Amino acid sequence: MTDTLDTVTADGTPAEVRAELDAWLEQNWDPELTVAEWWQRLAAGRWASPAMPVEAGGRGYGRDLTAAVSTGLAEANVVGPPTGLGLMLAAPTIAVHGTPEQVDRYVPEILDGSVAWCQLFSEPGAGSDLAGLQAKAVRDGDEWVVTGQKVWTSGGHMASKGMLIARTDVDAPKHQGITYFAIDMDQPGVEVRPLREMTGQALFNEVFLDEARVPHDAIIGGQGAGWAVANTTLAFERASLGGGGKHPVSVAPGQKAGRLQNRVGDYTERVNRGPDGEGGRGMGTSAMVELARGAGCADDPVVRQEIVKLHILGEVNRLNMLRAKAGGSRHGGEGNLAKLAMSELVRRSRDVGNLVIGADGMLAPADSATGGVVQEVTTFSPAPAIYGGTDQVQRNIIGERVLGLPKEPGPAKETPFRELLQN
């Protein structure tokens, strides 16, 4: 990857990073650019994913400096980096487990938003027990032939690449016979079917793999090491979902989304999630305070108390993640705790929002005097407790891996997958 900076270090304070970013934005932000041109500038300046290692196009920032960048972009009212699972999961996973050649092949097109990714993990019979997956990959020369079904694939309808885990050895124990691939979604053996949600959106999909092909050199982390690589991806997912903080306006990446050639300035006023999950502002404390003021109940002591509770939960989650990043992982469960906190934050946002707007919450979004944002949060609120690993799975992980509680009874770890009862 070409280094566009003379020197890149992870040193500095959040204030110093903000000053550098503000000066850079003054020179580089131009609403007349296309989305693609703007993202190319962000990537070249290493602002697209500052938490990534320097050798992978980032700045090596910790969580506090990364948060300073995100907040700076949001407060400058500019479009943020490409959203989606490529930037959130694929790029950092490849930076950890990929070869230098794979980093150079896959990461730049993620950072500049030209290629969107999806995550092909869960299956109809392998959700909570992900290691029980049955999608199989069979070696055929320099390629692998993949057959199986995946489900709850976020953004699969817009993705050109996928993070795929498939079983490559049925004689190995179930956690050891899995391999992690970077697969091309645009091929005859891949069919994507959207799943319509009660929000009216279709962010999730089911994906059918019928002798789809993936090159051997697209294996990330080594053959049979897919479970370890997948756990890295899941750790990034939980930490990202639970991280909180202020985020800039988001735009969907990739050619299929149809945004790359649009004027970037057209997206800076987008405030709610669009049909592809775009948006920049949720129902955090500031938004809730403004909602209460608009509804004339900002002085109600019960409303004020509930908003403060929401704020405290968000701050505890933020500080927990900052502490973990500053001193390293204390116990390995920080990401799981953040994911649980995020689920609770969304539920509390729903409840406090409806407390604030009262009977208006029973109206359809289009008929609501408050713009429908509370209705959107309400219908979306069950999802965070399910995607990215259910709340129950997070509690099991914390109980077993952090607290040392006994695991649920089951077959010995050494049992070959083919001898296990299938889900």
Residues assigned a catalytic role: 237
For 92-142, strand residue ranges (E) read: 117-120, 136-140
Which residues, at least 6 apart from 243, have a Cβ–Cβ distance to it below 8 Å? 63, 67, 318, 321, 338
**Length of the chain (residues):** 423
Q: 3-class secondary structure for 267-295?
A: HCCCCCCCCCCCECCCCCHHHHHHHHHHH
Terminal Cα-to-Cα distance of the chain (whole angstroms): 43
Cα separation, 179 vs 166, whole angstroms? 6
Q: Is 404 exposed, middle or buried (0-12, 13-18, 19+ CB in 10 A)?
A: exposed
Closest CA to 78 of 33, 20, 23, 29: 29
CA angle at 244 for the pair 342 and 388, rounded to the nearest 5°: 45
| CA 76 to centroid of chain Cα atoms | 23
Q: Is 355 helix (H, G, I), strand (E, B) or coil?
A: helix
Contact, 72 vs 21, CB < 8 A?
yes
Q: What are phi and psi of 208, to 5 degrees?
A: -110, 125
Widest pairwise Cα distance in the chain: 70
CA distance 120 to 122: 6
Quote the Cα angle for 156-160-165, to 5°: 65
**Local structure of 215: helix, strand or coil:** strand
Question: Distance between CA 275 and CA 376 in Å, rounded?
Answer: 12
Check: CB of residue 370 under 8 Å from CB of residue 357.
yes
Handedness of CA 85, 88, 91, 97 (dihedral sign): negative
